[in-house]
Chain A
Amino acid sequence: MPRPDAATKVDALLELRDIHKRFGGVHALRGVGFTIEPGEAYHLLGENGCGKSTVIKIMSGAHAPDEGEIVLEGKVYHSLTAIQSLSAGIETVYQDLSLLPNLTVAENVALNEQLVASGGRLARLFDRTRLRATAAAALSTVGLPSDRGFLGTIVSDLPLAQRQLVAIARAIATKAKMVIMDEPTTSLTRREVDNLIAVVERLRSEGVAVLFVTHKLDECYRIGGHAIVFRDGQCVEQGPLANYTKDRLAELMTGRRIDAERYRTGAPMDGELFAASGLSLPPNVRDVSFSVRKGEILGITGLADSGRNELAMAIAGVMPATGGHLRLDGKVEKVRHPSEAIRLGIGYVPEDRLAEGLFLDKSIFENEIALVVRDLANGFGVVDKAKGRALADKLSQDMRLNTRNLDLPVGALSGGNQQRVLIGRWLSILPKLLVLHGPTVGVDVGSKDTIYRVIQQLAEAGMGLVIVSDDLPELLQNCDRILVMNNGRVVAEYDARETDEDQLYKAMLVSKPAVNTETAR
């Protein structure tokens, strides 16, 4: 792509004018418009369900707007096809990554370049040499290996963080003019985020516009650029990011004031509720011991490969521990299967609510009662619907769902509401201990606030909670104590009131000096 030089006037790359989109009765976009200039960074902010995804799909050619115009490099369109959008250099890194799991890394990264070059026509020869060259260049830019072995790896064999980088590599494999990144950092460690930010800087210096969609405001400030704030399908604010404080942005997104102070006000009660001693699940978890008191909120953090995820799953019986034991209410218990954990009163809200938790095409009602459906059934196995409804109704009120229609499929809810349905389901077993794994991943500011308030309420009621998360502010705001894991072990324990992000982050990296120096570049 030619660099925009000073002689030619830099025209807007893309302009949306008064875009409307309706889905059935839902008016998802109500006259939004913004302009994307080459080489600039933009942050599309807003709560889940505010229309961000829809506007991305309109730019990438997946949806046609009902009204409005798309001006792409001076030409006016009513709608774009995927190939038109890609040919114009608009690349998207989707939240679900949109990788083809059965194809190789090289094909995922570079096949689309050939498809776009042929204008979407498939009766063309496929050039394997070019495929490898394009893929290798893009992969080394995002910091992945580019040897033949890696190029030929099937994508489903890669860990999630690498898949995310592969998706980013695909976006920059072509001569992109604009890269849209829909929550690109959710599964990246801080170190990989640093690398991503370096890639973004480089793209911008080459005149590529970057549009971020994210809930992580801290990252927005690190990148800088413009904020575009959506609320209820409208664009409520645009301007340089530096003009807004974090609180102001949160207020613009939600339409109400959110004070990001510490949520935790209560204190743990006396008496041990739960203890793990010598818990092991080699090679990920080694000899981990800790205890949780009644009404206590314990945070556990660490890098993605620190073993925090496996520890959460070991407690819940999803990946049973091979060594050590658990103690609940003073009794030593073994948890070899999730059903045993449920029987004991250990609830587990998984990290990936879509893949591991919710039945998206089933109603809120059916999702809420899924764990207790056997208790609701009479001797003939017929479920007492009225009782179930009453329970689901109470749970959704406790969880402050923003709909009263329990027959709505869960798939139609926003991420924050879905998460609340999932937590509500676990409350149905009246757990003594609730393990929340990444409770607010991909959840917007307003929903986070609600979820945190619910968590605090549960602790007040005497439930023990364990929050496993890499969202450090979340742990600092909600927990009594925070454990840091590293290399399968608990390496540090802090009182949440007396620590900060830096201290936690240092502990996460402590035994990995090599990583530390590299990040400090």
Chain B
Amino acid sequence: MSATHLTESAAVPIARPNSLLALVRRRPELITLALLVAICVAVSIINPAFLQPSSLVDIGRASVVMGLFALGVFIILAAGGIDVSFTAIAAFTMYSMTLLVKNHWPDAPIALVLVAATAGGALLGVVNGLLVHYLRVPSLIVTIGTQYLFRGILLAFIGTVWIMSLPPTMGAFGRLPLFQFESADGRTITLPFYFLVLPAAALVTWWMLNRTLMGRAIFAIGGNANVAERLGYSLRTIHIFMFAYAGALAGLAGIIHTAANRQSNPFDLVGTEINVIAAVVLGGARITGGTGTVIGTLLGVLLVVVVNSVLVMVGIPSTWQRVVVGGFILLAAAFFVFCQKKN
């Protein structure tokens, strides 16, 4: 026998997950899910109208843009960074793209427009990635800078005028239904086709994070970037890729935002970053990096969207949304810390 086996007594016995707390600690998104279910149940009791398909469709529709942003934010957060420039990237790509299509190629196929917006967002993301890598400045600072930069360039050089009528293909895409039905009160309820973009993006992101080396590398640098570098991970590749990926999602979100609202406003979106970051953190991703899941992120987004839409249904003024979301964030954070201490 060449190796001694110490299994039965190797130092301290391993703490086995012994309780609900341990489970929650490993899967913090369960708390998000529990909160979500609790709110839905409470609201359905107070106002049964909430359970109608129409309100579910509303929630689904409202989640798309925020969900795409959140997936991007989640990836950067998982790698231990933070991104606040994604709204500026979205505004930049959506407005320039709309202007370009409207003025030069009104009949451009929508697929091409979507791809171009995504690519444009990725390109701006690469700028973020290069700056973060070569300046060796924390990504929060870099993306505050680029947020101003992208938005400034947009407003100074590209335009400040609202585009109220979209090019026909983009308008049509915004109206294209996935399915439609008549609600009880006779309104036509439509779940738009673009809703599919969110689950598709979530699936791709999940696959990338869990089934490719790049995905594991993102979590690795979120755990400890110096160690990851020592182990042979190329920080440059990871930085550029992850910011490009988040930028691509932001570009896509921007064009969908425009198509859904049937107008393009260059002043739009910027200012909503905290909302998105809040959703991601509520989904169980730690702000210090290295943790979180795609499903948790989606649950976090749903939670914020539901809170925003149901408060009105139970008669609480919409100005209270922030109080509620803020309270949830504090509660969830305190609970996560509590679980860690218990372990």
Contact B216 A107 (CB under 8 A): yes
Segment of A14-22, A195-203, A452-460, A492-500 engaged in the interface with chain B: A195-203
- With A115-B232, A120-B232, A153-B14 in contact, do A126 and B213 touch (Cβ < 8 Å)? yes
Residue A304, interface by CB 8 Å:
yes
* Most chain A beta carbons < 10 A, residue from B16, B26, B216: B216
Of B3-11, B49-57, B155-163, the one touching chain A:
B3-11
> Which of chain A's residues have a CB closer than 8 A to the CB of B10?
143-145, 161-162, 165, 192
A518 to B6, CA, bound (A): 9
A-B pairs, 9 with minimum CB distance: A102-B290, A100-B223, A143-B6, A161-B11, A102-B223, A122-B214, A82-B232, A202-B2, A159-B12
Residue A125 lies at the interface, judged by CB distance under 8 Å to chain B: yes
- Residues from chain B with a CB closer than 8 A to the CB of A154 are 26
Contact at B212–A101, with CB atoms within 8 Å? no
Distance in Å: Cβ of A58 to nearest Cβ of chain B: 13
B-side contacts of A145, CB under 8 Å: 7, 10, 14
B15 within 8 A of A: yes
The residues in A between 132 and 165 inclusive whose CB is less than 8 angstroms from any CB of B are: 140-145, 149-150, 153-154, 157-159, 161-162, 165
Which one of A60, A162, A521 contacts B12 once the chains associate, using CB atoms below 8 Å? A162
Is B229's beta carbon under 8 Å from chain A?
Answer: yes
Known: A150-B14, A189-B11. A118 touches B231 (CB 8 A): no
Q: Decide if B2 touches A103 in the complex (CB within 8 Å).
A: no
**In the complex, what distance in Å separates the CA atom of A103 from the CA atom of B16?**
17
Q: Is the CB of A159 within 8 A of B11?
A: yes
Chain B stretch 249-288: residues in CB contact (< 8 A) with chain A: none
B217 within 8 A of A: yes
Question: Across the two chains, which residue of chain B brings its CB closest to A160?
Answer: B11
Q: Residue B230 at the A interface, CB < 8 A?
A: yes
Chain B interface category by residue count: 35 or more
Do the beta carbons of A125 and B211 come within 8 Å of each other? yes
Q: How far is B212's CA from A195's CA once the two chains are assembled, in angstroms?
A: 35
A194 within 8 A of B: yes
Query: Is A404 part of the contact surface with B, judged by Cβ < 8 Å?
Result: no
Asked if residues A100 and B220 are in contact (CB atoms below 8 Å), the reply is yes
Would you call A60 and B291 a contact (CB within 8 A)? Answer: no
A2 to B217, CA, bound (A): 31
Given the contacts A83-B232, A115-B213, A159-B11, A122 and B238 also touching, CB distance less than 8 Å:
yes
Residue B233 at the A interface, CB < 8 A?
A: yes
Query: Do A191 and B6 touch across chains, with their CB atoms under 8 A apart?
Result: yes
Least CB distance from A487 to B in Å reads: 13
Count A-side interface residues using an 8 Å CB cutoff: 60
Partner of A125, one of B9, B15, B212, B237: B212
B174: CB under 8 A from chain A?
no
Any chain A CB within 8 A of the CB of B167? no
Q: Residue of B at shortest CB range from A57?
A: B230
A101 touches B6 (CB 8 A): no
Q: Is B215 an interface position by the 8 A CB rule?
A: yes
Q: Which residues of B contact A186 (CB under 8 A)?
A: none
- Residue numbers in A under 8 Å from B328 (CB-CB): none
Q: B9 contacts which chain A residues (CB < 8 A)?
A: 191, 514-515, 518
A115 engages B3 (CB within 8 Å): no
For residue B224, CB closer than 8 A to chain A, the reply is yes
Q: Are B291 and A195 interface neighbours, CB within 8 A? A: no
9 A-B pairs (CB sep. < 8 Å): A101-B223, A115-B213, A115-B233, A120-B232, A122-B238, A126-B211, A140-B3, A140-B5, A144-B6
User: Do A114 and B213 contact each other (CB < 8 Å), given the known contacts A100-B220, A194-B4, A514-B9?
Assistant: yes
Nearest chain-A residue to B231 (Cβ)? A112
**Cα–Cα distance between A145 and B12 once the two chains are bound (Å):** 12
Contacts of A140 in B (CB 8 A): 3, 5, 7
Q: A465 to B233: give the CA distance in the assembly, Å.
A: 46
Name the residue on A nearest B217 (C-beta).
A122
Find chain B residues with CB under 8 A from A100 CB. 219-220, 223-224, 227-228, 290
**A residues within 8 A CB of B227?**
98-100
Question: Across the interface, which residues of A come within 8 angstroms of B336, CB to CB?
Answer: none
Q: Which residues of A contact B11 (CB under 8 A)?
A: 159, 161-162, 189, 192, 304-305
Contact partner of B16 (CB less than 8 A), chosen from A149, A158, A162, is A149
Q: Which of B215, B219, B232 contacts A112 (CB 8 A)?
A: B232
A177-206 CB contacts (< 8 Å) to partner B: 189, 191-192, 194-195, 198-199, 201-202, 205
Any A CB within 8 A of the CB of B296: no
Residues of B within 8 A of A101 (CB): 223-224, 290
B222 at the binding interface (Cβ < 8 Å): yes
Chain A 62-75, CB-CB to B under 8 Å as 1, else 0, gives: 10000000000000
Q: Which of these, A82, A114, A158, A521, contacts B230 with CB under 8 Å?
A: A82
Do residues A118 and B219 form an inter-chain contact, with CB atoms below 8 A?
no
Contact, CB under 8 Å: B4 / A521: yes
B343 interface contact, C-beta 8 A: yes
11 additional contacts (CB under 8 A) given A100-B227, A122-B212: A86-B231, A94-B230, A98-B231, A102-B290, A103-B220, A103-B290, A123-B214, A124-B214, A198-B4, A518-B4, A521-B4
Given known contacts A191-B6, A198-B4, is B231 in contact with A82 (CB within 8 Å)? yes
Chain B minimum-CB-distance residue to A87? B232
Chain B residues, Cβ within 8 Å of A372: none
What residue in chain B is nearest A206 (Cβ atoms)?
B2
A345 to chain B, nearest CB (A): 30
Return the chain A residue nearest B80 by Cβ.
A102
Instruction: Say if the beta carbon of A423 comes within 8 Å of chain B.
Output: no
Q: Is the CB of B215 within 8 A of A158?
A: no
Which residues of B lie under 8 Å from residue A406 when comparing CB positions?
A: none
Q: Are B4 and A122 touching (Cβ within 8 A)?
A: no
Q: Contact between A157 and B6 (Cβ–Cβ < 8 Å)?
A: no
Q: Does A479 contact B (CB under 8 A)?
A: no
**In the bound complex, what is the Cα–Cα distance between A159 and B290 (angstroms)?**
20
Residue pair A122, B12 in contact (C-beta under 8 Å): no
A residues near B234, Cβ cutoff 8 Å: 120, 122
Known interface pairs A62-B230, A98-B227, A157-B343. Does A141 touch B213 (Cβ–Cβ under 8 Å)?
no
Q: In the docked arrangement, what's the CA distance between A496 and B220, Å? A: 48
- In the complex, the answer to whether A205 meets B2 with C-beta atoms within 8 Å is yes
Contacts of B230 in A (CB 8 A): 60, 62, 82, 94, 98
Closest partner residue, chain B, to A143 (CB atom):
B6
Minimum C-beta distance from B19 to chain A (A): 14
What are the residues of chain B within 8 A of A201 when measuring CB–CB?
Answer: 2
Asked whether any CB of chain B lies closer than 8 Å to the CB of A441, the reply is no
* A157 and B15 in contact, given A82-B232, A143-B7, A201-B2 (Cβ under 8 angstroms): yes
Whole-angstrom distance between the Cβ of A464 and the nearest chain B Cβ: 31
Complex-state Cα separation, A42 to B237, whole angstroms: 36
Task: Answer yes or no: B241 CB below 8 A from chain A CBs.
Answer: yes
A111 contacts the other chain (CB 8 A) = yes
